[in-house]
Structure 1
Amino acid sequence: MSEPDEALKRDLRDDLRHRLRPMPARDAGDTSRSTAPLELLYDLTYVIAFAGAAEQLAHHLVAGAPLPAIGAYLFAIFAVTWAWLNFTWLTSAYGNDDALFRVATIAQMAGVVVLTFGLPAGFSAVEEGHSPLNTLVIVGYLVMRVPLVLLWLRAAREDAGNRRICVAYGCTIAAAQACWILVAVLPMPFPATVLLLVVLALAEMAAPVLLERRLGNAPWNAGHLAERFGLLTLITLGEVIAATTVTVGTLVQENGWSVAAVMIIAAGLAIASALWWAYFQIPSRAILIRWPRRVFAWRYANFPLFGAIAAVGAGLRVAAAAVQEEKLSLFQVALCLAVPVAVALVTIFVTWSVLMHAYDLTHVPLFLASLSPVAAAVVVGAVLGRDEPLDLTHGHGLTGLVLVVSLIALGTVVEVVGHEVVGFRHTLRAVGGDQPEVQPDGA
C-alpha cells in the first residue's frame, strides 16, 4: 500500500474510531481550525432553550406581567448563554472528540433539556415573587456543569504546561455551581435572592478574566471562538424565523390570511435576515486571529446578542397574540418588538467598536440612523394606540400595526445598507492603524 493510502487509513482511524485518546492543548495559532459536528449538535440544544425562554417571555407579556417576565427571561438567558460560553471556551482549547468527550458533551445537552423543562415554573415563580431556581432548573444546570468541571480537570492532568489554569477553571466552575445550589435551597426573601443571583452572575463573568491574567491563557483558538459565536448567532436567528412561521401559521389556521399575518411573517423574515447581514459585517474571525487578546472584551460585548435575538421572536409572538386575542395595545406591541431589536443593534455596534478598537464618532451617525425608525415605531404606537386593545377592524389599528412593524424592520435594513454603502470604509480605516499581536504562549 502506498504512503498516501497509509496516511488516509490513519486519518480514517482517528475519525471513525472514538476510543479514549490523549487530550492535549489544541494549537491556538491554527488558522484553519473549524467547528466540529459535535459542537453544532451541542448548539442546537441551546437554541431550544432560547426558544423556550422566548416562548415563556411572550406568554407572560401577553398575560400582563411584564416586569417579572423580563426578570425571569434575563436570568434564564444568562444561565443558558454562560453555560454555553464555558463549554465553548473548553472545546476551543481541548476538544479531542474521543468517546469520553462525546459522552460528556451529550450529558451536558441532556442538562440543557432538563433546564428548559424547568423554565415555565421558573417564570411563574418570579411572577409570584419567588426564586426562579426550581428543582428542574438546578438539576439541569448541575448536569450541564459537572461534566464540564471533569473535562477541565482531565485537561489539567494531560496538559502539564497549562495545569494551573485548567485546575483553576474546574474549581471556579464547581464553586460557582455550589453557590447556585445554596441560593436555591436557603430560605431568603425574594429581593435578597435576586441580589445574590446578580452578584453571582457578575462574579462568574469576572472570574475568567482574573484567572487568565494571573495564571496565563488557556490555549483557546481565537478564530475558532469567532466561528462558534457566529454559528450560534445564525442558529438563533433561524429559531426566530421558525417561531414566527409557527405562530403565524396558528393565527392563519384560526382566522385565515390577513394583512396583519402577512406583515408579521414579512417583518420576522426581514428582521432576522437584516440582523444576520449586519452581524456578519463584523470581521470577527479575521480580526481576532490577528489580534487575539481582544477576544475577552469581544465575547462580553457579544453576550447580550443571543437573548436579544430570541426576544425578537418573543416580540413577534406578542404581535400575533395581540391580533388574535385583542388584549394588548399597539404601544405594547411596539415596545415588545422595538426593545429587543434596538438591543440587538446596539450590541452589534458595541461589538464592532470593541473588536476594532475604534471609538470615534464617525460611525455614530449610521448607528443613530438605524435606531431612528425603531424609536419612531414606539412613537407611532403611543400616538395611535397607547391604552386601548389593538383592534384591526376599527380606527387606526391595522394602519398602526403595519407602520410599527415596517419601521422596526426598516431600522435593521438601514444598518445593512448604511454599512454596505459607507460603514465598511470605517472598518478599513480602523484596521489600518494597528499592528498585529504576537500570539502569546498558550493563547
Structure 2
Amino acid sequence: MIAAQDGHRVTPAELFFDLVFVYAITQVTALMADDTTPLRILGGLVVLALLWWCWCCFAWLGNVVRADSGALFAVLVAVMAVMMVVLLTVPEVFSDRPGGLDAPLVFVLCYGAVRLLHLVSYRIAHPDDRALHATLRRTALLSVGPPLVLLLIGSALTGVAQVLVWLGAVVIDYVGIFVTGASGWRIASPGHSAERHGLIVIIALGESIVAIGVGVSGYPVTAAVLAAAVAGLLVVTGLWRLYFRQFSEAAEHRLAPLEGDDRTRLGRDVYTFLHLPLVAGVVLAALGMKKALHQVADAGHYALSEPLHGIAAWALTGGVGVFLLGAAAIVVRIGGPRPVTLITGGALCLVAGAVVVLVPALLAVALLAAAVTAMVALHGRTASRAVLKQS
C-alpha cells in the first residue's frame, strides 16, 4: 500500500467506492417510506448510522493510504461486494420475508466483516506503528466487539426490541470510538477529508432530488406538481449553499494548521460525528418531500388542500432542522461566529411539523423553501459581519 501525503486529494477509486453508498442512502429512504411510523423512522436512522460508520472507516483509511494503489483498491472492491449484500438486505432488515436467507442476520454478519476488514487493512498498511496497533486493539474491544454482539442478539428479535437493541449497539460503537481517543489515528491531508465528506453530502442531497422525482413519477404533470418540485429543489439548494459556501471551507482551514492528535480529534468531531446529522437530516427531508410531492401529484386520492399527516409532516421540516443544528454544531466546534440563526432556525424546524399538518402539502413545501432561503442568507450576512469585526 502507498502512503498518502499532505495535499493528497480524493482518487477516482474512492469515487467508485462511493457509488455503493448512493444505493445505501436510497435504500434507507425507501425503508422509511415503506412504513412511515415513528418506530420505522428510528430503525431507518439506526441503519443509516451503521452504514455511515462503514463509509467513515474507509474514508479515513483512504486519507493515509492511496485508494488507487493495487492492494487497497482490491480491499475496496471486496468491501463494495460485502456492502452490496448488506444493502440488498435493508428492505427486510426489520421484517424478514419467508423463503430466503435470514436478512437481519446476513446484514449483521456482513456489517461485522466490513468493520474487521477495516481494522486488518489499517494494521497491514502500518506494520511498524505501535501506537496505531494499540488503538486498533482498543477499537476492536470497545467499538467493534460489543456492538456486534448486540447486533447479533437484535437480529433474532423483532419490532421495538430489535430497534432498541440495535440502537444500543450504535451508541456503544460511537461512545467506544470517542473513549478510544485520537492517539494512533492520523489525518495526512485535511483537503482530502474536506473533499471526501463534501462528496458524501452531495450524494445525500442528490437523493433528495431523486425523491422529488420519485414522488411524482407516474402522475400527470400539473402546475401544482411543477410548483412543488421547484420549491423542493429550492430547499435542497439552500442546504447546499449553507454547506459549501458558509462552513465547509472554514472547517478545512481550521483543520489544516493543526498537527497530531489535535488534528485527529477535530477531524473526528467535525467529519465523523457531526456530518452524520447532516446526512440524516437530508435523508429525513427527502422522505418528507417524497411524501409531499406524491400527495400533490396524486389528485385522484388527495385534494390539493389536504395537508401532510403523521411522521411525514415532521420529517419534511424536522429533517431540515436536524441539518441546521448539525451545521451549527460544526460551526461551534471549529470556533466560528455564534450560529444563532442556525440554532434558532433548526429548533423551529424541529417543531414545525405541528404547522405542516394544518396547511396544504404544496404550501408547506413552499414555506419551507422560503424559510431555508431566508435563514441561509441571514446566517451568511451575520457570519460575514462577525469575520469583519474580528479582522
Give me the whole-angstrom Cα distance separating, in 2, the residues matched to 1:383 and 1:174.
45
Work out the CA distance in 2 between the residues paired with 1:202 and 1:158. 32
Instruction: Give the CA deviation at 1:320.
Output: 2.8
Q: Which residue of 2 aligns with 1:320?
A: 293
1:307 equivalent in structure 2: 280
| Contact 2:325 2:346 (8 Å CA) reproduced | no
**How large is the Cα RMSD of the aligned pairs?**
3.1
| 1:404 corresponding residue in structure 2 | 364
Aligned residue for 1:290, secondary structure, equals coil
Task: Please tell me the residue identity of whatever aligns with 2:168.
Answer: V
Distance of 1:338 and 1:301 partners within structure 2 = 19
- TM-score normalised by length of structure 1: 0.74
2:31 paired residue number: 56
Contact 2:29 2:287 in 1 (8 A): yes
State the distance in 1 between where 2:382 and 2:167 align. Answer: 40
Instruction: Select which of 134, 153, 171 maps to 1:202.
Output: 171
TM-score (normalizing by structure 2): 0.83
Structure 2 Cα separation of the partners of residues 95 and 180 of structure 1: 34
Q: Tell me if structure 1 keeps the 8 A contact 2:147–2:169.
A: no
SS in 1 for 2:340: helix
Which structure: larger Rg?
A: 1
Contact (CA 8 Å) 2:112, 2:148: kept in 1 or not?
no
The superposition leaves residues 43-72 of structure 1 with CA deviations (integer Å, 9 ceiling, x where unpaired) of 2211211111102212212xxxx1221122
Residues 14 and 67 in structure 2, CA contact (< 8 A), matched pair in contact too: no
Q: Within 2, Cα distance between the matches of 1:239 and 1:296? A: 25
Question: How do residues 155-170 of structure 1 correspond to structure 2 at under 5 angstroms?
Answer: 155-157=125-127, 159=129, 162-169=132-139
Match among 95, 110, 117 for residue 147 of structure 1: 117
Q: Look up the SS of the partner of 1:383 in the other structure.
A: coil
CA shift for structure 1 position 150: 2.1
Question: Do 2:314 and 2:350's aligned partners in 1 also have CA atoms closer than 8 Å?
Answer: no
> What does residue 268 of structure 2 align with?
296
Q: 1:137 to 1:96 in 2, by over 3 A?
A: closer
SS in 2 for 1:81: helix
User: Unaligned 5+ residue runs, structure 1?
Assistant: 1-21, 127-131, 385-399, 433-443
* Count of aligned residue pairs for this structure pair: 372
- Structure 2 unaligned spans of 5+: none
CA contact (8 A) 1:110 1:143 kept: no
Contact 2:42 2:163 in 1 (8 A): no
- Distance change in 2, residues 1:338/1:180 (3 Å): same
1:308-387 correspondence to structure 2 within 5 Å:
308-323=281-296, 324=298, 325-326=301-302, 329-332=307-310, 333-356=312-335, 360=338, 363-365=339-341, 367-368=343-344, 374=349, 378-384=353-359
The CA distance in 2 between the partners of 1:168 and 1:264, in whole Å, is: 50
- 2:239 partner letter: L
Indicate if the aligned counterparts of 1:334 and 1:378 stay in contact, CA closer than 8 A: yes
Cα distance, 1:301 vs structure 2:
2.0
Pick closer, same or farther for the CA change 1:365–1:121 going to 2, 3 Å.
closer
Counterpart of 1:107 in structure 2 is 78
